[in-house]
Structure 1
Amino acid sequence: MPPKKATEDVKSNVVAFGRVRKNLKMGCVGLPNVGKSSLFNLLTEQSAAAENYPFCTIEPNEARCAVPDLRYDFLCDLWKPPSMYPAYLQVTDIAGLIKGASQGEGLGNAFLSHIQAVDGMYHIVRAFDNDEVLHVDDSIDPVRDLSKFFFHFIPFRASFIIAEEATVRKAGGKFKMNPLFPSTTTKIREMLEKDMPVRDGQWTSAEIELINERLQLITTKPVIYLVNLTMKDYLRQKSKYLPLIAKWVTEHGGLPRDIVPFSVEFEEKLFSMKDDATKLEDFMKDIKVKSRLEKIITEGFTKLGLQYYFTAGEKEIRCWTIPKGCLAPQAAGAIHGDFERGFIKAEVVAYSDFHDLCVGAKSMAPVKAAGKYRQEGKTYVVQDGDIIHFQFNVAPKK
């Protein structure tokens, strides 16, 4: 009988632009006075300054908001454990961009570093007329504002700010150019010259790793376009600006689902009534639309390439955030590094199977009887909403 092969670590199979980790951030970006800080406050229930003048926000405000999920609510209601932990989305409120920022004017240099520190962007676009709310260009034109952000700042300053560093790499006492660098940067230039973000190109895993390691391009970050409407336009679900915004977004690499119309005015109205259920019910009974905050949070979480699995039991219900495509050992590592190192197997049931088969009981017995409770090894790709129990063996440290 041949000897057993030595156990090999299974590497993560996640290949994506940006950092591969669980605590990724969405940044609220855009021009001044478009509703960034007001939205940030609504999402996170904070009290960040949101005044009617440019650069009200200087240093980024950071907070987190719980990711809404009916699956998590069901598990919590079923077990009613003493400890319950939802998934969270990290959100950063970044100062507004103005003309000349790419040359360091205003908060341009700080803006660059702040936006490079986040992993995805909520690009808030103003699509409402209000003489009492200042606009840096003294007129409302969402397409102009989108173009200013995309063209004036990102392609030139951000995309190649450290490209020179990537041209050479010291190896064996000699300077050697990464062989992928010339072709990769050529593709990047061609895309930017066509007004297309780098994230929408066709890239190999090696090219993605090079861009992540050396270039740190802002146009690789995923974007959700949040269109801030008046409450009147939001309630009637119409705006003269929306078709123009949709046309611009789709022409620059975006998809229709990347556009989320909402209204800070409407959301603040709802928030002001959150402690008066009767008043809120009266206000909402004849309204056909609802709050978009939950959609904004879940879309942001999804855009970052994140998902989570559940651990469930009498003591605790918890969501564990992981990158999409994560293998079982790395998913176990989200709980503790020792779990990844000593991974043996994962006992898994899909949430939908548990929901349909548990018949209101906490027991896994009916799930097992139906053959839906299974054992998975190191190569299992964890699915969003899996309920998992890990088995591991941690050798004592020498």
Structure 2
Amino acid sequence: MPPKKAPVQEKVLLGRPGNSLKSGIVGLANVGKSTLFQAITKSSLGNPANFPYATIDPEEARVIVPDERFDWLCQQYKPKSQVPANLTVYDIAGLTRGASTGAGLGNAFLSHIRAVDAIFQVVRCFDDAEIIHVEGDVNPTRDLNIISEELRIKDIEFVEKALDALNKQTRRGGQSLEMKKLKEEEATVAKVLQYLQDGNDIRKGNWGPKEVEVINPLFLLTAKPVVYLVNLSEKDYIRQKNKYLPKVKEWIDANSAGDPLLPVSAQFEERLTLLGEEAAAEEECKKLGTKSGLPRIITTMRTALNLASFFTTGADEVRQWTIRKGIKAPAAAGVIHTDFEKTFIQVIVYNYSVLKELGDEAAVKAAGKVMTKGKEYIVEDGDILLIKAGAAKH
């Protein structure tokens, strides 16, 4: 008899499982966060769709996700309405050394980070006598250390409180199932605390599915994915050289291996935004032999958040929907309308790549590439879906 295959354990992701995830721009004071935030949120990111930039409050904005597939589908269908995917970005007030103990806007700052799902960490790598550095001089690796320590200290505080609360409950003793569950939870929280005290970030740990279920409700700061944005002067960004960059890269490799590092220039992006017209900005980039760093920032963050897209298409509307990678068809249907998840029957599906290759829907059908799938189908990035669901019972 062939050996039994061990069941594949599904990897449970850290973080909330939602589709409307938020990213926060974090950094010390005066590193260019707000300039960058304004550039990101006011730019149309090369997307022709008429999608107004909506400030929800002064520190929060939605940004269009640049995607050539969406643009191509809009050209193809020429729909009455075009709805691209978007990402919510927060500008979080500048961090100071000692924030974890309440210095500066300490506690408010850290609670704002708890509310986001991922972090854009802005690191200053430009010299400018006009812009005073909060620590006195420009030293990106010191800044990276300050931020990572502040976030970790705050996490240790959260975890100690959680462990203390669990200790009080398990002291009662007993053999009930509930007590067994509490003791397992207590052991996980103690392990998390030790991991943090050893100087590690939670997102770098190798946690099992049960441990992740305990970690997620703690909303730990170091569990969130991070994309490092290295803020350069315009000159350094265009020539792609900077004296601090190798040191920053070295720090990330040593302390945050695998996290993306993107060079950007808030000064340059701000200047491009001020040109107003997209054509003028493109012309300026062409003249300087460079391009805006913003589209890559948004697409990298989506990858860090494990997000993907599916599309619904037609003459009335082409729309890009955001999902967490690896979800099944009913959950994807639920993104369109919660009732669709409950009353899901089947989905008719083909991928954008097939449509692009064959030219139109009729050709995709003729080639037998349109599939009908049930509840177990895992939606792939770029799928075009037609969902069939029953009537909701009210």
**How many residues get paired?**
365
Q: Does 1:396 align with 2:385?
A: no
| Distance in structure 1 (CA, Å) of the matches to 2:103 and 2:181 | 34
- Going from structure 1 to structure 2, the CA distance change for 1:290 and 1:167 (only over 3 Å counts) comes to farther
Shift of 1:310: 0.1
Bigger shift: 179-188 or 332-341? Answer: 179-188
Secondary structure of the 2:292 match is coil
Moved runs in structure 1, 4+ residues, more than 4 A? 166-177, 279-282
Scaled by the length of structure 2, the TM-score of the pair is 0.87
Q: Does 1:28 align with 2:31?
A: no
- Going from structure 1 to structure 2, the CA distance change for 1:344 and 1:282 (only over 3 Å counts) comes to closer
The residue number in structure 1 matching 2:133 is: 135
Root-mean-square deviation (CA), in Å? 2.2
Scaled by the length of structure 1, the TM-score of the pair is 0.86
Shift of 1:328: 0.2
Amino acid at match of 2:319: R
Bigger shift: 182-191 or 136-145? Answer: 182-191
Which of 191, 199, 204 is the aligned partner of 2:203? 199
Secondary structure of the 1:178 match is helix
The residue number in structure 1 matching 2:333 is: 332
* Alignment map for 1:1-398 (pairs within 5 Å): 15-45=12-42, 61-151=59-149, 153-161=150-158, 162-163=161-162, 164-167=164-167, 178-213=182-217, 215-255=218-258, 258-275=260-277, 277=279, 280=281, 283-358=284-359, 361=360, 364-397=361-394
Shift of 1:280: 4.3
List alignment gaps of at least 5 residues for structure 1.
Answer: 1-12, 47-58
Q: Does structure 2 conserve the Cα–Cα contact (< 8 Å) formed by 1:228 and 1:262?
A: yes
Q: Does structure 2 conserve the Cα–Cα contact (< 8 Å) formed by 1:230 and 1:265?
A: yes
| Distance in structure 2 (CA, Å) of the matches to 1:260 and 1:140 | 18
| Distance in structure 2 (CA, Å) of the matches to 1:93 and 1:203 | 30
| Distance in structure 1 (CA, Å) of the matches to 2:186 and 2:237 | 48
- Going from structure 1 to structure 2, the CA distance change for 1:323 and 1:280 (only over 3 Å counts) comes to closer
Bigger shift: 196-205 or 180-189? Answer: 180-189
Amino acid at match of 2:252: V
Q: Does structure 2 conserve the Cα–Cα contact (< 8 Å) formed by 1:328 and 1:377?
A: yes
1:231-281 Cα distance to aligned partner (Å, 9 max, x none): 1111111111111001111111332x610001011112222223284x546
| Distance in structure 2 (CA, Å) of the matches to 1:307 and 1:185 | 31
Amino acid at match of 1:258: P
**Identity level (%):** 44
- Going from structure 1 to structure 2, the CA distance change for 1:150 and 1:100 (only over 3 Å counts) comes to same
| Distance in structure 1 (CA, Å) of the matches to 2:97 and 2:40 | 28
Q: Does structure 2 conserve the Cα–Cα contact (< 8 Å) formed by 1:311 and 1:319?
A: yes
Bigger share in helix = 2
Q: Does structure 1 conserve the Cα–Cα contact (< 8 Å) formed by 2:59 and 2:90?
A: yes
- Going from structure 1 to structure 2, the CA distance change for 1:276 and 1:110 (only over 3 Å counts) comes to closer
| Distance in structure 2 (CA, Å) of the matches to 1:276 and 1:220 | 37
Shift of 1:67: 0.1
Shift of 1:305: 1.5
